Amino acid sequence: MRMGAWKDDSIKYYEIGNPVLWWASALCCCVVYPLQLIYLVLQHRRGTLRWTGDEFRQFWNASKVLWGGWVLHYIPFFLF
């Protein structure tokens, strides 16, 4: 949250963003993605995965980029 102004005579408000968007993105990152990854790994172990090795590698590399971006974005908030 960020305060909009520091002056004593001005109106102060906090910018918190959209809580619906925050909860939906948290749900996708912390629940949906791990479940999808577990499902894909189980399909691969059973031999029923319809993706080729290159398609799975592309999915895995894209997920590393997205999670890496999330980590780099939030590191300053966890450190300070």
**Residue whose entry in the numeric block shows the structure tokens 């172990």:** 45
Query: Which H/E stretch holds residue 68?
Result: helix 53-79
Average pLDDT over residues 50-79: 85
* Residues contacting residue 12 through CB under 8 Å, at least 6 positions apart: 3, 4, 5
Separation CA 5–CA 20 (nearest Å): 25
Tell me: the pLDDT tens digits for 9-31? 766 666 667 788 888 888 888 89
Instruction: Indicate the pLDDT class of residue 3, thresholds 50, 70 and 90.
Output: low
DSSP 18: -
Give the pLDDT band (50/70/90) at residue 46.
Answer: very high
Tokens 């300053």 correspond to 76
